[in-house]
């Protein structure tokens, strides 16, 4: 592959909002830096900034104890602008634009940057997803950059890759759904008493769809395995994000490796925003 203008020697800046469950890259690269811009999660009158200092466990406890609806605020255009202004190429990845205004904030910042620096190489990728699927996109970007691909090839390759990945999630707690009026208290009460898990998927448009309900942890794991088998015969790479449920995440990992011997499965805890959505015990799985 022919390189353009020595692009393999240029500094590459990958930026994600904090719906991506990474804080740092999983390996060191000489010419690639990674940073995240935090969401702000407001629970019971207190703002939690979703960065390295966040005590996610305490935030989850506060969510569970609060009787009030909570909300989140996406990164501002100014926060994105600060990252885009750094020397080198910039590639931003956001949570699905159908779930948050983060993509629009990043787009506003990009347009502001290009007014000042019209030759700046900058791109936005709408993940149409969250958490572990964004991790997979970051990994793909790093592989493409490391291969020596030029800027446009890297962006196109990662964008096309994102269209082929999928996400499925399992929720055992429905507190936020009830407090924010998205589920009736009676339905939530019954789901809890019956030990029901909500099994959902990310649509191609980047929205959330409830696919089925499963009774108990074992059935929830089986439902996830069935979804992977249905939408991709051989998953290859799988990333599991869990909200304070390492035991179930490990059980799912072992089940996936038993079903597909060549699967490469990574387990990682959710950061603040995905903990807010998944709630205690929840799993978010990308493949």
150 and 29, same domain (yes or no): yes
Question: Are residues 171 and 159 both part of a single domain?
Answer: no
Query: Of 143, 164, 185, which closes a domain?
Result: 164
When pLDDT is averaged across residues 150-168 and rounded to a whole number, the result is: 97
Domain end residue (candidates: 112, 131, 164): 164
pLDDT digits (tens, 9 = 90+) for 209-226: 878 889 999 999 999 999
pLDDT band at 184 (very low <50, low <70, confident <90, very high): low
The whole-number pLDDT of residue 199 equals 92
User: Is 244 in the same domain as 272?
Assistant: yes
Given pLDDT bands bounded at 50, 70 and 90, which one contains residue 177? low
119 assigned to some structural domain: yes
Same domain, 216 and 273: yes
Euclidean distance between CA atoms 279 and 59, whole angstroms: 10
Question: Is 156 contained in some domain?
Answer: yes
For range 172-195, the mean pLDDT: 58
- 43-80: pLDDT as tens digits: 989 999 999 999 999 999 999 999 888 899 999 999 99
CA atoms within 13 A on the CB side of 68: 8
In a domain, 68, yes or no: no
Together in a domain, 253 and 193: yes
pLDDT at 195 > cutoff 80: no
**Do both 227 and 272 map to the same domain?**
yes
Does position 190 have pLDDT exceeding 60, yes or no? no
Q: What is the mean pLDDT of the chain?
A: 91
What is the model's pLDDT at position 285? 98
Overall number of domains in the chain: 2
pLDDT at 1 over 50: no
> Is 13 in the same domain as 100?
yes
pLDDT more than 90, % of the chain: 78
Asked, for residue 113, whether it belongs to a domain, the answer is: yes
Tell whether 70 is covered by a domain: no
Co-location of 144 and 172 in the same domain? no
Q: Are residues 181 and 128 in the same domain?
A: no
- The answer to whether 263 and 253 have CB atoms below 8 angstroms apart is no
230-279, pLDDT tens digit by residue?
A: 998 889 999 999 999 999 999 999 999 999 999 999 999 999 999 999 99
Please give the pLDDT value at position 148: 95
Instruction: State whether 19 and 122 are in the same domain.
Output: yes
Predicted confidence at residue 211, as pLDDT, reads 85
Task: Give 88-98 pLDDT, tens digit per residue.
Answer: 999 999 999 99
pLDDT tens-place string over residues 25-48: 999 999 999 999 999 999 989 999
CATH number at residue 127: 3.40.50.10440
Q: Which residue has the higher pLDDT, 176 or 52?
A: 52
The pLDDT assigned to 179 comes to 67
Q: What is the mean pLDDT of residues 184-205?
A: 67
CATH code where residue 204 lies? 3.30.1180.10
Quick one: pLDDT at residue 208? Answer: 77
User: In this structure, are 191 and 276 located in the same domain?
Assistant: yes
User: Which residue range is the domain that position 85 belongs to?
Assistant: 7-38+75-164
Which pLDDT score, from 0 to 100, does residue 189 have?
A: 46
pLDDT at 4: 43
Asked if residue 112 belongs to a domain, the reply is: yes
Q: Is residue 137 part of a domain?
A: yes
Q: Which of 130, 164, 198 is the last residue of a domain?
A: 164
- pLDDT attached to residue 207: 80
pLDDT confidence of residue 183: 47
pLDDT at residue 3, rounded to an integer: 36
Residue pLDDT, tens place only, 122-156: 999 999 999 999 999 999 999 999 999 999 999 99
* Same-domain check for residues 92 and 25: yes
pLDDT at 188 over 50: no
Domain membership of residue 269 (yes or no) is yes
């Amino acid at each position: 592959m022919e390189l353009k203008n020595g692009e393999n020697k240029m500094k590459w800046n990958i930026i994600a909002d904090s719906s991506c469950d990474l804080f740092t890259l999983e390996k060191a690269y000489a010419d690639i830096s990674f940073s995240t811009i935090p969401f702000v999660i407001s629970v019971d009158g207190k703002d939690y900034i979703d960065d390295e200092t966040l005590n996610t466990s305490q935030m989850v406890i506060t969510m569970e104890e609060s009787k009030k609806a909570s909300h989140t605020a996406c990164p501002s255009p100014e926060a994105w602008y600060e990252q885009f202004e750094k020397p080198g190429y910039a590639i931003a990845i956001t949570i699905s634009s159908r779930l948050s205004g983060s993509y629009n904030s990043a787009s506003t910042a990009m347009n502001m940057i290009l007014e000042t620096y019209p030759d700046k190489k900058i791109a936005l990728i709408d993940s149409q997803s969250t958490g572990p699927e964004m991790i997979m996109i970051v990994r793909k970007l790093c592989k493409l950059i490391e291969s020596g691909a030029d800027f446009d090839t890297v962006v196109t390759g990662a964008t096309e890759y994102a269209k082929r990945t999928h996400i499925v999630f399992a929720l055992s707690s429905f507190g936020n759904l009830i407090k924010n009026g998205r589920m009736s208290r009676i339905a939530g009460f019954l789901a809890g008493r019956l030990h029901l898990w909500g099994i959902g998927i990310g649509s191609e448009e980047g929205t959330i769809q409830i696919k089925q309900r499963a009774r108990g942890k074992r059935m929830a794991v089986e439902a996830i395995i069935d979804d992977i088998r249905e939408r991709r015969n051989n998953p290859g790479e799988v990333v599991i994000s869990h909200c304070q449920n390492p035991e179930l995440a490990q059980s799912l990992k072992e089940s996936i490796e038993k079903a597909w011997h060549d699967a490469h499965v990574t387990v990682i805890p959710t950061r603040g925003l995905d903990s807010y959505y998944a709630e205690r015990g929840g799993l978010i799985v990308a493949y």
